[in-house]
Structure 1
Amino acid sequence: MLRSFPGFLSQNRFRWRRIRYEGVLGTALELHFLAEPQAAREAERRALAEIERLEGLYSRYRPDSELNRWQEGLTEAVSPDLAELLREAERWQEHTAGAFNPGVEAVQRLYRQNPDPPEEQREALLKALGAPLWTWKGETPHKRTPLELNFNALAKGRIADLACAAAMGVEGVQGACVNLGGDLSHRGPQGMPVAITSPFSSADNAPALAQIRIRNQGVATSGHTQRGPHLFDPRRAQPVQGVAQATVVAGDAATADVLATVFCVLDPQESLRLAEQLGVAGLIVSRSGALHSNPQFQALEEAL
């Protein structure tokens, strides 16, 4: 989980303004704007409108969302936003050798029904996860799998990025930060401190595990703390075992979002190697409590 703490600027009329909402996309939303009051209000309006628009496209919980209608075969042509999400998902599935897979929710469902499922069920599910989930005919995607697909590990970060960009389009806004349930997108010249909480403490006022300073970056944390065991390895159709939490800092929140999930699936050393390849910062917390981070992350850390 991430906590952001924007400071106040006393040298001019601009200061950080914080707005918090509950129940947005099933989680908490924090908006931070470095702006005068009128510009901040317009930035808030545009950010909320963009979040609502994208929820109508990507939500798995709204029966009328474009994603659900496409999955049910109720529509053929898709919007550019949904097409881009699908193409990004394909790229990440390939780049992570299957550690990211939009069909992984089926593994979670299997283990909810039976904590020790028969091997033949796991093998059948692995075969389905390894088959093409959709194919393209020109610019039109066609779903090929009976599995239900969920893109939350990518879509939530993308929503934060686009909402932040919408706010920054308001004249008079000098900085913006959108924190959507721990997926955080920041834009602006002034850096922002972000605290990373420990996966082993549920208290809101618990000491931070680490504090970093970001600027024009995205941050995401994934793990077992906030929602309990919910992460599964789609390459093995088994629950994730070794990692308690992963935090990623990247150039955008969508990248940080998907990699935070992937880094919970991979071995910590595999994650750090991938982080180096992609030029992102990573902090992985093992179930044993051991911390694993790369130089990019260490360069962002501040004293607590």
Structure 2
Amino acid sequence: MPKAYVFTRYGGPETEALIDVDKPVPGPGQVLIAVRAAGVNPVDWKQRTGYRRPGESADRAFPAVFGNEVSGVVERTGPGVDGFAPGDAVFGRPLEGGYAQYALLSTDLIARKPDAVTFTDAATLPVAAVTAYDGVGQLDLKAGQTLLVTGAGGGVGVAVVQIARALGLRVVGVASPAKKELLESLGAAHVPSGPDWTARVPGPVDGVYDLVGGDVLAEAATLLTDRTRLITAGAPPEEVEKLGGARVLRTRTNEGLAAVADLVARGALDPHVTRTFPLEQAGEALRTVEEGHARGKIVLEIAG
């Protein structure tokens, strides 16, 4: 039977397990893919603790498969599917988790993988890169303006820096000292995180893309004269709205997926996959992200 890495109830790492599961069957408008890679994101472990994205309300069925972004090869299509066929290389948002040998995807949240993009890189795009792409577009800063990014050394932050730089923005990245070399290699000015970090920001900023929330978000807001240029993917709506800002507005469309894949194919966006794990070591991969030790993106690679 196919394998999947799941959590059996809400809680901590003790709820996780690699188990046998039934092979999914695609319904109308769905495709079944043989997963080749799955991105590992902070939202994955947060969902294990009971976190729900804004707008989510349904109770989760257990065991629940981890994972929110995958790439792979179409094995079977459901009724009414046009435009995709067995053998197509694709990537997207899985309907029921992606830390698995097989996953279901809706044709509303799937795109073809360009030949120039590896399965590993493609698996980083549906959450991290599209979140970055949506947020930078939402801020609508002009070439030459300055964007400050908190949590700039993680998967989303690395994508934000590159997309912003490709648009001609000056970027200031707030991250731990260990991520200084990475951020400077991407063309960002590095500001070490920690107490009084705002005093170390070089010059005024025109927009803030927050990926941390809490005190860091509140401190970042003080750097802006126009709080409508404050967005977050690291805090709930009520936390940023009281500061005058907004959550990142996610488009969740095939067009967004295709746009970020094109950036990778053209060399304008490097997902910076810094470490890969097999499915059997999904727990270790998740701990790397959950404990804040990841630099760039962590990906599970799943043998075909």
The structure richer in helix per residue is 1
Q: If the length of structure 2 is used for normalisation, what is the TM-score?
A: 0.27
Give the structure-1-normalised TM-score.
0.27
